[in-house]
């Protein structure tokens, strides 16, 4: 387990308890009572949580989610984001990473990270959930 500062722990807990992705300002709002006042404190904590794999940033939503997986090396996190109920389902795919890393390499592009987001309707919202 990674050693977290108090702020990082608070932010992580807020993400874990949330029903869906949270923006930095939503997190700030939740943690005001705990003495966190500056957006920078939140961003710093989020940065660290993402770095150690305990949270992910959803780029298109500019929001963060807690991650409870243990990511395999070489796996990439894929997010299926429901536009109706806001549900975010995370799963992993190794082939996507391999393929895109190869493509990036062909272009001599040095990739920092890769986020894959699928946008649409979850099974409950598209009627196939039963």
Q: How far is the CB of 75 from Zn ion (least distance, A)?
A: 9
Residues 6+ apart with CB under 8 A from 113: none
The yes or no reply on residue 82 touching Zn ion (CB under 5 A) is yes
- Residue of the chain from 87, 96, 101, 116 that contacts Zn ion (CB under 5 A): 87
Q: How far is the CB of 123 from Zn ion (least distance, A)?
A: 8
Stretch binding Zn ion (CB under 5 A), from 3-11, 15-23, 30-38, 66-74: 66-74
User: What are the helix and strand counts (H, E) for the chain?
Assistant: 4, 5
d(CA 95, CA 75): 8
Helix-, strand-, coil-residue percentages of the chain, each rounded to 5: 40, 20, 40
Which token pair is 43? Answer: 């961003």
The yes or no reply on residue 122 touching Zn ion (CB under 5 A) is yes
The yes or no reply on residue 76 touching Zn ion (CB under 5 A) is no
Interaction residues for Zn ion, span 15-44 (CB under 5 A)? none
Which token pair is 110? Answer: 């040095």
The yes or no reply on residue 51 touching Zn ion (CB under 5 A) is no
Q: Which residues bind Zn ion (CB under 5 A)?
A: 67, 69, 77, 82, 84-85, 87, 122, 125
């Amino acid at each position: 387990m990674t050693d977290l500062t108090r702020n990082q722990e608070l932010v992580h807990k807020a993400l874990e308890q949330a029903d869906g992705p949270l923006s930095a300002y939503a997190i700030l709002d939740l943690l005001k009572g705990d003495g966190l006042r500056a957006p920078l404190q939140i961003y710093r904590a989020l940065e660290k949580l993402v770095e150690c794999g305990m949270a992910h940033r959803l780029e298109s939503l500019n929001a963060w989610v807690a991650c409870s997986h243990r990511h395999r090396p070489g796996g990439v996190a894929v997010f299926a984001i429901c536009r109706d109920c806001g549900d975010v389902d995370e799963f992993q795919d190794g082939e996507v990473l391999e393929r895109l890393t190869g493509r990036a390499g062909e272009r001599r592009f040095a990739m920092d990270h890769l986020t894959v987001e699928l946008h649409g309707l979850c099974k409950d919202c598209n009627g196939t959930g039963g």
